[in-house]
Amino acid sequence: MSLKGAKRKGNSRRKRKAIIAKGTTDCYWCGKPLTLDTSTLEHIIPISRGGLDHHNNTTIACVECNGARGSNMPELA
């Protein structure tokens, strides 16, 4: 499925900072401790699979988990 037409809103760093400020400081998938500089913005349901770019569908993950997961659904990761 193509990402063409998928809309991503705004600044990843700002969104990651907000998530960390709310107390989430570990990778969503493996639990590795993260900082603003070592985290990536993760869409729990990927945009390419119909997920929204909304705070209810985003969290932080380490680079390794986010990259390995690709656009798989959570139950397939």
The whole model's pTM is what? 0.79
Determine contact, residues 12/33, Cβ cutoff 8 Å.
no
CATH class held by domain 21-76: mainly alpha
Tens-digit pLDDT profile for the chain (77 aa)? 444 445 566 689 999 999 999 999 999 999 999 999 999 999 999 999 999 999 999 999 999 999 998 888 877 65
Q: Are strands 39-43 and 58-62 parallel, antiparallel or unpaired?
A: antiparallel
Give the type of residue at 10.
G
The residue ranges of every structural domain in the chain are: 21-76
Cα 11 from Cα 49, distance rounded (Å): 21
Strand, helix or coil at 41?
strand
d(CA 11, CA 35): 16
